[in-house]
Amino acid sequence: MFVTALELTDFRNYAEAHLALTSGVTVFVGANGQGKTNLVEAIEYLSTASSHRVSSIVPLIRAGCESALVRARVRAGRDDDREILLELEIAQGRQNQARLNRAPLPRPRDLVGMLRTVVFSPVDLAIVRGDPADRRRWIDSLIVTRWPRMAGVKQDYDKVLKQRNALLKAMSGRCATKGAGDDEFSLGIWDEQLAGVGAELLHARLDTLADVRPFAQRAYERIAPVNNRIDARYVSGVDLDGVADAADVRAALQDRLLGQLRSLRAEELRRGVTLAGPHRDDVELMIGELPAKGYASHGESWSLALALRLGGFELVRDDGTEPVLVLDDVFAELDASRRERLADAIRGAEQVLITAAVGADVPEFPAERRFRVEAGSVALEEA
């Protein structure tokens, strides 16, 4: 699929922008702080109903304005001219309003998956160098790109976790006798819920990590000329030994998670938090024989983060969907050989949106289009 038109109203530093896009490679060039990332962020926001840059919506609305509107026309494919119109209205103090072909959708997250994107941006360095939470965000974003309904599962998990933690906290601060029976009963219910939704998330992560691994390995080999063996392994507080061979993997994961919660019960009641589940897991990344975190060089960490995103992109394509590939500020960080190698790797994509402060950093693609971005306005450069 690819975006054929993008319209912004009061989004970030754009008062009004109308952009006609095509399949193939599009490059947005402009000095720092002009609005290149804001443009691709708008596309990411429509695709996922979230931004990797902010958790609150306030910065998305142009300063001094009440609301922002992002609208995109998306075409199904080069050989498939069906189109949909996606809209998201972002307003302070109320839930975002999503529309599909001008018809309102009940929830913003109903928009998720209509437009599939894989975004690589400089903050992705955190996948390699950051905390387990950064790696969990990476694998979860890929899960949602593959299976949009997992966005709901993820939200449900977070909700259940929050409620269970609140109960544990209340119980940990209370003397054991008064109302203890009721609390125990409620906790038992939350255990079941957490294990149920948690197992679904865990299952999706395990499958996705196993599936993306060979694609990421290939992507890394393509980008990095030497020392180019990488690996990724899921690390869980729940014992996963042999679970992949179970007749019903999800049921087996649920049992294991439930067992783990029960064995941690006393400790959880003492500390007032949930100590097992996908929210505490990690993905261990290796380059050669060494862990990437704490060992890899800057260029290696960068290339690994990029390979994980590109691997995800190839996996989604392999699943049968052509996502839009967004590469924000990637080329400036790479040496000349890695730039050419990356350019080679993305040539076949249906739509690639690239941003760069310096145009010369981006190798020229056949039939590419370049836009100049300046102070919240975008203009096509004459070829």
Ligand X SMILES: Nc1ncnc2c1ncn2[C@@H]1O[C@H](COP(=O)(O)OP(=O)(O)OP(=O)(O)O)[C@@H](O)[C@H]1O
C-beta of 37: minimal distance to Mg ion in Å? 3
Nearer of residues 281 and 328 to ligand X, judged by Cβ = 328
The sign of the CA dihedral 50, 52, 55, 58 is negative
Site for ligand X in 340-369 (CB under 6 A): 355, 357
Residue 13's binding partner among ligand X, Mg ion, none (Cβ under 5 to 8 angstroms by kind) is ligand X
C-beta of 35: minimal distance to Mg ion in Å? 8
Nearer of residues 89 and 329 to Mg ion, judged by Cβ = 329
Phi, psi of 178 (to 5 degrees): -70, 115
SS3 string, the chain, reads CEEEEEEEEEECCEEEEEEECCCEEEEEECCCCCCHHHHHHHHHHHHHCCCCCCCCCHHHECCCCCEEEEEEEEEEECCEEEEEEEEEEEECCCCCEEEECCEEECCHHHHECCECEEEECHHHHHHHHCCHHHHHHHHHHHHHHHCCCHHHHHHHHHHHHHHHHHHHHHHHCCCCCCCHHHHHHHHHHHHHHHHHHHHHHHHHHHHHHHHHHHHHHHHHHHHCCCCCCEEEEEECCCCCCCHHHCCCHHHHHHHHHHHHHHHCHHHHHHHCCCCCCHHHCEEEEEECCEECCCCCCHHHHHHHHHHHHHHHHHHHHHHCCCCEEEEECCHHHCCHHHHHHHHHHHCCCCEEEEEECCHHHCCCCCCCEEEEEECCEEEECCC
C-beta of 373: minimal distance to ligand X in Å? 6
CA torsion, ordered 59, 62, 66, 70, to nearest 10 deg? -90
63 near ligand X (CB under 6 A):
yes
Site for ligand X in 219-278 (CB under 6 A): none
Nearer of residues 36 and 136 to Mg ion, judged by Cβ = 36
Nearer of residues 45 and 190 to ligand X, judged by Cβ = 45
C-beta of 119: minimal distance to ligand X in Å? 13
**What number of chain residues touch ligand X (CB under 6 A)?**
18
Residue 288's binding partner among Mg ion, ligand X, none (Cβ under 5 to 8 angstroms by kind) is none
From 27, 43, 62, 197, residue interacting with ligand X (rule: CB under 6 A):
62
Nearer of residues 236 and 355 to ligand X, judged by Cβ = 355
Nearer of residues 232 and 330 to ligand X, judged by Cβ = 330
Q: What is the binding site for Mg ion (CB under 5 A)?
A: 36-37
Binding mask 6-45 for ligand X (x = CB under 6 A): ------xx----------------x-xxxxxxx-------
75 near ligand X (CB under 6 A):
no
Residue 30's binding partner among Mg ion, ligand X, none (Cβ under 5 to 8 angstroms by kind) is ligand X
C-beta of 274: minimal distance to ligand X in Å? 35
C-beta of 62: minimal distance to Mg ion in Å? 17
C-beta of 356: minimal distance to ligand X in Å? 8
C-beta of 42: minimal distance to ligand X in Å? 10
Q: Which residues bind ligand X (CB under 6 A)?
A: 12-13, 30, 32-38, 59, 61-63, 329, 355, 357, 373
